[in-house]
Structure 1
Amino acid sequence: MNLFENIRLALEGLRANKMRALLTMLGIIIGISSVMAISTLGSAMTGSVTKTMDKIGGKNIMVYVTAKNYEVASTFQEDDYVTMDELENFKAAYSDEVKAISTSSSLGAGELSKGYIHRNVTLTGVSPDYSMVNNVKLVQGRFISPRDVQGDRHVIIIDTTVRNSLVGIHGDALGMEIQVDTQNTNETYTVIGVYEKLVIDNPLFNMGDETRIECFIPISTAMALNSETANVSGYTNFTIMATSGTDSAAFSQISKDYFIKTLAKSSDFTIQAESLEAMASEATGMLGTLSLGISVIAGISLLVGGIGVMNIMLVSVTERTKEIGIRKALGARNSAIRSQFIIEAIIICLIGGLIGVGLGSGLGILGSTLMKFPSTPPFGPMIIALCFSMAIGVFFGFYPANKAAKLDPIDALRYE
């Protein structure tokens, strides 16, 4: 009996006992569908983390001055700050790896007002490279320039929601003077640019208070207006944007080592550098490990399903004892009998696997869509799941098939 004949007999047997076959497949279906759903959700979340990191600056390296010992109170001295000259020297030394360096200094929360319009804002002083490093998209005007920083100018970049409140969606707010009151300042600024707020539609990333709008002013202006930084000539944190061909994770260590040398040996502070690319890799690795662990737990149901397949195949051998006896009496070899029942077990598991893949993929797509991580089922786990289901058919179908092959034809023909 050839392979196709065995497959035909297996399908006819399943067709004759539809309910029994479905119940037998249930464990396989549940196991495969669970693995596929988890794999799809894991793939969606991993892709979402990567895309979000790229959106907010995947090649960025955050560098900051931090205390060596947090248990001891430390005060910043003049030599503990990283100066603009040191940043420029670093950029020149690593011109092939560094695309831009941005600095920022928060002036805190406040209220922007113009006539009867009032909006809650956060005022942040930034350097000219800030827009490139942090993917600030201008829709009108220009960004902060070196001249604005050098002259401590009172100019401001607002976002589109503030512009819309002031002059409407198609209005022009450039040149308009607006007042911003913070806890310690009350200043008037001239609007030189309008930017579109970067929307991060990802619940894994908490972007802070979405009701408060960030506005940008020259970093020199912000530092001069802040009593804590008015007499400071350097920075305690900055962001390096690496070029596209640079391994930002490795370059973060180079950056750290470089700026540690700029600090005095007696300083109570040191330098830390973190790469967003490395953080994204770590996050996706954790998600992958979590998905794998849950998949292994879900895969245990496949073993339960395999036991069900073995059980039903033993029942099938018992029911078809006389048929086996007739075939052996007509000259069928043990290998032919064995292959018939193994193929039947494989067909049961394969059909259950196909149903599980379809069901699990559908659940995964639905779940990823509801979680705002639209994704398609990964092809690799799909193939592995189907191959594993067939392997279960071989493993758990061998014992019943071997038992059928070893039946004595005389005893089989006498069986009632």
Structure 2
Amino acid sequence: MNLLENIRLALEGLRANKMRALLTMLGIIIGIASVMAISTLGSAMTGSVSKTMDKIGGKNISVYLTPKNYDSQATLQPEDYITQDELNSFKETYADQIRAISLSSSLGSGKLNSGYVHKDVSVTGANPDYRLVNNINLVQGRFISDRDIQSSRNVIIIDTTLRNNLVGVNGDPTGMDITVETKNTNETYTIIGVYEKVVIDNPLFNMGDDTRIECFIPITTAKALNSQSTAIPGYENFTIMASANTDTTAFAQITKQYFIKNLGALSDYTIEAQSMEAMVSEATSMLSTLSLGISVIAGISLLVGGIGVMNIMLVSVTERTKEIGIRKALGARNSAIRSQFIIEAIIICLIGGIIGVGLGSVLGVLGSSLLKFPTTPPFTPMIIALCFSMGIGVFFGYYPANKAAKLDPIDALRYE
């Protein structure tokens, strides 16, 4: 009996016992569907994390001072801070690998007052490179310039939401004076630009609803107005945007070693540098591991499904004992009998696997859409799932098939 004939007999057997076949496949369907749904969601979340990280700075490297020992009380000394001269020297040394260096200093939260407009704002001091590194989309006016930094000017960049409140959607607020009152300051600034806030539409990066509007002023102005940072001779942290062809993971280590040598041997602090690409790699690796672990747990139902297949095949062997005896009496070999029942088990698992893949893909796509991670089902897990389902058919179908092949033809013919 050839392969096609065995497949035809298996399909006829399934057609004759539709309900029993469906119940037999149920465990396989649930197991494969669970694995496919989890794989699809995992793939969607991994892709979403990568895209979001790229959107907020895929080539960025964060550099910061950190205590050598968190168990002891470390205090930053004036000589520990990273100076502007050190940053300039570093940028000059690695000019081919650095696009920009972002510096910032928070002035804190406060209240903006202009006529009838009163808004909660947060004020951040920034340098010119801050715009490029942090992907600030300027829609009107200009950003902070070197001359603003050198002169510590009272100029400010506001966002479109605040612009709309001040002068309307089509208005131009540049040149307008506004007053911002913070904890220790009450300053009047001239608006020189308007930016559009980048919306990160990703639940994984949703840090809560912050109703404060972020505004930017020259970093030297912020440091001069901030009583806590007036005496600070440098910076605790900064962000590098690397050039397109730079290996940011390797360059992060180069950066770390460059600035560590400027710290005194007795300093309680050291330098850490972490690239966004390394963070993306860690995040995606963690999500992949989590998806794999959950898939393995979900795959336990495949074991239950396999036991169900073995059980129904044993019932099938018992029901068809006389048929087996007749085939053996007519000269059928043990291998032919064994193949017939193994192929039947494979067909059951394969059909269940196909249904499971389809159901799991639909559930995965639906779930990823609801979580705002739209995606398509990954192809590789789909093929692996189908191959695995056929493997279950071979594994759990072999014992009943072997039992059928070893039946004595005389005893089988006498079976009632």
What interval of TM-score do these two structures reach, taking the shorter chain for normalisation? over 0.9
Shift of 1:273: 1.4
Matches within 5 A, 1:220-299: 220-299=220-299
**Cα separation, partners in 2 of 1:293 and 1:88, compared to 1, 3 Å:** same
Partner Cα separation in structure 2 for residue 282 and residue 297 of structure 1: 23
Separation (CA, whole Å) in 1 of partners of 2:399 and 2:178: 83
Q: Equivalent residues in 2 for 1:135-154 (5 A)?
A: 135-154=135-154
Deviations 1:51-98 (A, max 9, x none): 111111111111112233344444433311111111111111112221
Aligned equivalents of 1:320, 1:72: Cα separation in 2: 78
Matched residue, 1:352: 352
Give the 3-state SS of the residue equivalent to 2:204 in structure 1. Answer: coil
1:405 lines up with 2:376 in the alignment: no
Question: Deviation at 1:350?
Answer: 0.2
Q: What secondary structure, in the 3-state scheme, does the structure 2 residue paired with 1:169 have?
A: coil
- Quote the offset at 1:395 in angstroms: 0.8
| 1:79–1:263 CA contact under 8 A, matched in 2 | yes
Match of 1:396 in 2: 396
- Which SS does the other structure have where 2:171 is aligned? coil
Aligned equivalents of 2:404 and 2:73: distance in 1?
A: 80
Query: Counterparts of 2:70 and 2:214 in 1: how far apart (Å)?
Result: 31
Q: CA deviation at 1:116?
A: 0.5
Aligned residue for 2:15?
A: 15
- 1:400 aligned counterpart, secondary structure: helix
Q: Quick one: distance in 2 between partners of 1:286 and 1:75?
A: 34
Inter-partner Cα distance in structure 2 for 1:190 and 1:103: 21
* 2:48 corresponds to 1:55: no
Q: How does 1:110-259 map to 2 (within 5 A)?
A: 110-207=110-207, 209-259=209-259
Name the CA distance, whole Å, in 2 between partners of 1:207 and 1:238.
22
- In structure 1, what is the Cα distance between the partners aligned to 2:208 and 2:309? 53
Write out per-residue CA displacement over residues 312-336 of structure 1, whole angstroms, 9 at most, x where no aligned residue: 0010011111111111222222211
Read off the aligned partner of 2:8 and give its amino acid letter.
R
Name the amino acid aligned to 2:167. V
2:404 is aligned with 1:414: no
Tell me which residue corresponds to 2:66.
66
* Structure 2 residue aligned with 1:370: 370
Q: Could you tell me how far apart the structure 2 residues matched to 1:406 and 1:268 are?
A: 78
**Which amino acid in 2 is paired with 1:330?**
L
Counterpart of 1:381 in structure 2 is 381
Report the Cα distance in structure 2 between the residues aligned to 1:404 and 1:66, rounded to whole angstroms: 71
**What's the CA shift for 1:265?**
2.2
CA–CA separation in structure 2 for the residues paired with 1:71 and 1:329: 84
Moved more, 214-223 or 334-343: 334-343
| SS of 2:354 mapped into structure 1 | helix
Q: Which residue of 2 aligns with 1:6?
A: 6
For residue 208 of structure 1, report the CA deviation from its aligned partner: 5.1
- Cα distance between partner residues in 2 of 1:163 and 1:318: 81
What is the rounded CA distance, in whole Å, between the counterparts of 1:103 and 1:250 in structure 2? 22
* Alpha-carbon distance between aligned partners in 2 of 1:101 and 1:194, rounded to the nearest angstrom: 22
Distance 1:411 1:74, change over 3 A: closer
CA contact 1:65–1:236 (8 Å) conserved in 2: yes
Residue aligning to 1:337 = 337
- The whole-number CA distance in structure 1 between the counterparts of 2:269 and 2:8 is 77
Conservation of the 8 A alpha-carbon contact between 1:105 and 1:125? yes
- The alpha carbon displacement at 1:7 in A equals 0.9
**C-alpha separation in 1, matches of 2:31 and 2:250:** 41
State the percentage of identical aligned residues. 77
- Give unmatched runs, 5+ long, in structure 2: none
Following the alignment from structure 2 to structure 1, what is the Cα–Cα distance between the partners of residues 188 and 146?
20
CA distance in 2 between partners of 1:208 and 1:123 (Å): 19
Distance 1:294 1:208 in 2: 28
Paired position in structure 2 for 1:79:
79
Query: Conserved in 2, the CA contact under 8 Å of 1:224 and 1:231?
Result: no
- The number of residues matched between the two structures is 416
For 2:398 and 2:245, the matched residues in 1 are separated by 54
Q: Secondary structure of 2:105's partner?
A: strand
Q: Within 2, Cα distance between the matches of 1:216 and 1:56?
A: 18
Structure 1 unaligned spans of 5+: none
CA distance in 2, matches of 1:142, 1:134: 15
Contact 1:34 1:298 in 2 (8 A): yes
CA distance in 1: counterparts of 2:318 and 2:113, whole angstroms: 87
TM norm structure 1? 0.97
Number of the residue aligned with 1:94:
94
C-alpha distance in 1, partners of 2:318/2:69?
Answer: 75
Q: Secondary structure at the match of 2:103?
A: strand
Q: Is the 8 A contact 1:102 1:239 kept in 2?
A: yes
TM-score (norm 2): 0.97
In structure 2, C-alpha distance between the alignment counterparts of 1:284 and 1:100, rounded to whole Å: 27
CA offset digits 1:7-34 (Å, max 9, x no partner): 1111111111011001100110111011
Letter in structure 2 aligned against 1:300 = I
CA–CA distance in 2 between the matches of 1:71 and 1:331? 82
Structure 1 residue 226 displacement after superposition = 0.5
SS in 1 for 2:19: helix
Which of 145-154 and 78-87 deviates more? Answer: 78-87
